[in-house]
Amino acid sequence: MVRFRFPLLIALGLFVAGLALTSALKDRHYMLLSLVLLAVALLPLFIRLERRPLESRELVLLAVLSAVAAVSRIPFAALPSVKPVSAIVILSAYVFGAEAGFIIGAVAALVSNIYFGQGPWTPWQMFAWGMVGLTAGWLRNTWWMKKKGGMLAFGFVWGFLFGWIMNIWYLISLPDAFSWGLVAAAYASSFYLDLAHALSNVFFLAVLAGGWTKVLKRFRKKYGLLQE
């Protein structure tokens, strides 16, 4: 069994992907296909995490940052879209790079949902927060990201993008009603929640940016973590 684990997993994955494709093409039922595509989107960076040379210190660092991001969500549970997670993921990615940012975002989503309830939205959140970290890490060397205003703008934009990604998962359950009207209606109905998320991102980034990047950069230098 142990020796055939990878071939078995790959075969199983292909089987499910085939079912999803058939279902999408034949019945125009896209739910399974969307889950398969999400898994495919999450896979490369997790495979990279498994394969790249990684110190145990770096692994523990990733775990701490994911856990801090997950914990930060708990005091704000009563406010629906105020999530400091995005801000913490952006800051961590800013210091430690794109791959680390993706992993921190995805793991934070997975772990915090153990307290908030897992659901079909979990992979979507993993993807969305992973992308927050990934893009923040890619753009960390641009001149505007180094300025505080640029980072705040980045957080604001991601507040909306996050909501838009999360809207997709229930839009795809209505393939026949899909029209620009429906998209507009869905996005208009989530506008205030997205705005709240965007504004809270700006707020948390503004408060955390200076102090946290300093602390994280110091740790990075002191222990030589994720230097690339």
The stretch near another protein (CB under 8 A) out of 124-132, 146-154, 158-166, 177-185 is 177-185
Nearer to another protein, 90 or 139 (CB): 90
Contact 145, 154 (CB under 8 A): yes
Picking from 149, 167, 154, 165, the residue whose alpha carbon sits closest to that of residue 89 is 154
- Residue 79 interacts with another protein (CB under 8 A)? no
Nearer to another protein, 157 or 185 (CB): 185
Q: What whole-number distance in Å separates Cα of residue 77 and Cα of residue 28?
A: 36
Helix (H) or strand (E) holding 217: helix 191-223
- Residue 87 interacts with another protein (CB under 8 A)? no
Q: Among 40, 57, 148, 192, indicate the residue that binds another protein (CB under 8 A).
A: 57
Contact 139, 168 (CB under 8 A): no
Q: What whole-number distance in Å separates Cα of residue 82 and Cα of residue 96?
A: 24
> Which tokens in the block code for residue 168?
């997709």
Nearest distance from C-beta of residue 38 to another protein, angstroms: 13
Q: Among 144, 170, 191, 192, indicate the residue that binds another protein (CB under 8 A).
A: 170
Nearest distance from C-beta of residue 143 to another protein, angstroms: 27
3-state helix, strand, coil in the chain (%, to 5): 80, 0, 20
Tell me the Cα Rg of the chain.
19
Picking from 74, 99, 101, the residue whose alpha carbon sits closest to that of residue 86 is 101
Binding mask 195-224 for another protein (x = CB under 8 A): ------------xx--xx--x---x---x-
- Residue 227 interacts with another protein (CB under 8 A)? no
Nearer to another protein, 54 or 157 (CB): 54
- Residue 40 interacts with another protein (CB under 8 A)? no
Helix ranges, 28-97 (H): 31-51, 56-73, 85-96
Binding residues (CB under 8 A) for another protein: these are: 2, 5-6, 9, 16, 19-20, 22-23, 27, 29, 31-32, 35, 46, 49-50, 54-57, 59-64, 66-68, 70-72, 74, 103, 107-108, 110-112, 114-115, 117-120, 170, 173-174, 176-179, 181-182, 185-186, 207-208, 211-212, 215, 219, 223
